[in-house]
Amino acid sequence: MRIFDDRELGYLEEVLDSGVLGWRREGMTGRFERAFAEFVGAQHAISRSSAMTGLAQAVSCSPAGWGSEVICDPIVQFGGLAALNEMATPVFADVEPDTLLMDPASVRRKITERTRALIVTNLWGLCARLDELRAICDAHRIFMIEDCAHTTRAYWKGKHAGTRAHVGVFSFQQGKHLPTGDGGMIVTDDPAIDEMLYGEWAFGETPKWFTLNFRMNELTAAVGLAQLERVSGYVDTYNACQRHLDEAIKGCRWLKPRAIPPEAVPSAYTWLSFWDGDRYGMELARFQQIAREKQVPLRFGFIGKPAYLWDCFQAATDPDHPGRAAFKRHPLFPGPKYREGDCPVAEERFPRLINCGVMLPTEEQGRQLAERLRAAIETMERG
Ligand SMILES: Cc1ncc(COP(=O)(O)O)c(C=O)c1O
């Protein structure tokens, strides 16, 4: 259950009593940043207005920009959008079929002499193979960014999400593990990056680099500090709900669970499984109907296709695309057009994706949801 009560009010009152609502390192934002850095085990944390602004800013403090390439993953669009926003060309690496996370082997194949940054999404509560990706980045002098919007309190080989890369970016948007309404956090161990981001606030002198205002304010930080004290409890509940759903599909031949590698500690966000029924002559439409009847809120096929087949990415590199007008401030991005077949694993997986929200207020609700899913599976199997 998400709780907003006296703890949040107490910190909010402190802010109001201080008479200062705007960001300050000696105020509530600074307190939240230091507490968050300690929570994830990073040297520095810089609070932001959202994860999307944090991702764009992470690209802007990397060596990537116009004429260079940023490797992204294709299941969600956020990394690609951050690259486009900073005028760099997104190049999409494929994913592993059983986790849907960026595949290091595909990354190796996508690197060119123009690759300057990589944005890996720790998707739906699970970290990608972060140590392997960091080693690849180091070998090729690539700036690594982790999108950790779904991985507050998730770990890979004992290290918190966001701390293997040069920069990790978290989201505190309402639907995330640690909600402040909107908000985000950049974490880094590099004092030069911390200083660069801090330089954003250096009003009154010539900016040392080009960026805009992505600050968090003191009121948001007050809620964030209180929620940080609660987030581990939330994540424990969500992980328990996810385990119930995994249990419900155990033994089902035609619904395959998402693999959770032994090196990963997840922070459940969206539960994922894969439809395999076509291999047994089963009809997906029938299972969709049964799931509706049993009130199991499954989402089929997620957003339908990989990000690079969306109009906004297609239009970035295709002069004849009808969506070109949306790029009024961008010249045509150099590089090949995005095509079907660019990430064959992602394309094959999309129609098989079956998601379900597991950020439920109580474990009991997760257990009941799992029971309904089990009943839907049994109905389907009866034919
Ligand atoms: C993977 C991922 N990255 C980034 C974002 C953007 O987060 P925000 O809403 O804080 O900008 C989201 C939002 O849903 C997300 O799911």
Nearest CA to 277 among 338, 351, 170? 351
The answer, yes or no, to whether residue 207 has pLDDT greater than 90, is no
Instruction: Return the residue whose CA atom lies nearest to atom 9 of ligand 1.
Output: 173
User: How does pLDDT run across 223-281, given as a tens digit for each residue?
Assistant: 999 999 999 999 999 999 999 999 999 999 999 999 999 999 999 999 999 999 999 99
Task: Tell me which of 52, 172, 177, 178 to substitute to probe ligand 1's pocket, judged by most ligand atoms within 8 Å of the beta carbon.
Answer: 52
Q: Do 98 and 126 lie in a common domain?
A: yes
| 89 part of a folded domain | yes
For residue 270, the model assigns a pLDDT of 97
Q: Do 275 and 373 lie in a common domain?
A: yes
Average pLDDT over residues 287-296: 97
Work out the pLDDT band at 316, boundaries 50, 70, 90.
confident
Q: Do 200 and 60 lie in a common domain?
A: yes
Q: Do 267 and 249 lie in a common domain?
A: yes
Average pLDDT over residues 144-155: 98
For residue 358, the model assigns a pLDDT of 97
| 170 part of a folded domain | yes
Work out the pLDDT band at 147, boundaries 50, 70, 90.
very high
User: How does pLDDT run across 83-108, given as a tens digit for each residue?
Assistant: 999 999 999 999 999 999 999 999 99
Nearest CA to 178 among 379, 365, 371, 4? 4
The residue among 229, 252, 274 that closes a domain is: 229
Q: How many domains does the chain have?
A: 2
Atom of ligand 1 nearest to the CA of 171: 10
User: How does pLDDT run across 338-367, given as a tens digit for each residue?
Assistant: 999 999 999 999 999 999 999 999 999 999
For residue 339, the model assigns a pLDDT of 92
Q: Do 120 and 258 lie in a common domain?
A: no
DSSP 111-173: --TTEEEEEEE-GGG----HHHHHHHHHHTT-EEEEE-TT-TT-EETTEETTSSSSEEEEE-B
Q: What is the CATH number of the domain that holds 281?
A: 3.90.1150.10
Q: What is the CATH number of the domain that holds 101?
A: 3.40.640.10
| 329 part of a folded domain | no
Tokens 């790029």 sit at which residue?
327
Q: Are 241 and 369 in contact (CB under 8 A)?
A: yes
Atom of ligand 1 nearest to the CA of 54: 11
The residue among 229, 259, 275 that closes a domain is: 229
Atom of ligand 1 nearest to the CA of 172: 10
| 314 part of a folded domain | no
| 321 part of a folded domain | no
User: How does pLDDT run across 159-196, given as a tens digit for each residue?
Assistant: 999 999 999 999 999 999 999 999 999 999 999 999 88
Task: Tell me which of 81, 127, 173 to substitute to probe ligand 1's pocket, judged by most ligand atoms within 8 Å of the beta carbon.
Answer: 173
Nearest CA to 59 among 215, 189, 186? 186
As a residue count, the chain comes to: 383
In whole angstroms, what is the distance from residue 234 CA to residue 115 CA? 38
β-sheet bridge partners, residue 72? 92
Pocket residues for ligand 1 (CB within 6 Å)?
50-52, 76, 78, 121, 147, 149-150, 171, 173, 184
Range of the domain at 124: 6-229
β-sheet bridge partners, residue 354? 273, 300
| Phi and psi torsions of 88, nearest 5° | -95, 160
Work out the pLDDT band at 201, boundaries 50, 70, 90.
low
Radius of gyration of the chain (CA): 21
In whole angstroms, what is the distance from residue 10 CA to residue 190 CA? 33
Instruction: Report the SS3 class of residue 48.
Output: strand
The token duo for 306 is: 């990989």
| 338 part of a folded domain | no
Q: Do 198 and 283 lie in a common domain?
A: no
In whole angstroms, what is the distance from residue 340 CA to residue 344 CA? 8
| 365 part of a folded domain | yes
Q: Do 213 and 281 lie in a common domain?
A: no
Q: Do 266 and 201 lie in a common domain?
A: no
Q: Do 78 and 193 lie in a common domain?
A: yes
Q: Are 120 and 161 in contact (CB under 8 A)?
A: no
User: How does pLDDT run across 23-65, given as a tens digit for each residue?
Assistant: 888 999 999 999 999 999 999 999 999 999 999 999 999 999 9
Q: Do 296 and 158 lie in a common domain?
A: no
Q: Do 104 and 247 lie in a common domain?
A: no
Instruction: Return the residue whose CA atom lies nearest to atom 8 of ligand 1.
Output: 51
In whole angstroms, what is the distance from residue 300 CA to residue 119 CA? 26
The token duo for 367 is: 């257990």
Q: Is the dihedral of CA 252, 254, 258, 263 positive or negative?
A: positive
The residue among 177, 195, 229 that closes a domain is: 229
Instruction: Return the residue whose CA atom lies nearest to atom 2 of ligand 1.
Output: 149
Q: Are 95 and 72 in contact (CB under 8 A)?
A: no
| 319 part of a folded domain | no
Q: Do 249 and 224 lie in a common domain?
A: no
**Looking at this protein, which amino acid is placed at residue 39?**
F
User: For residue 47, how far is its CA from the centre of ligand 1 (angstroms)?
Assistant: 15
Q: Is the dihedral of CA 141, 143, 147, 152 positive or negative?
A: positive
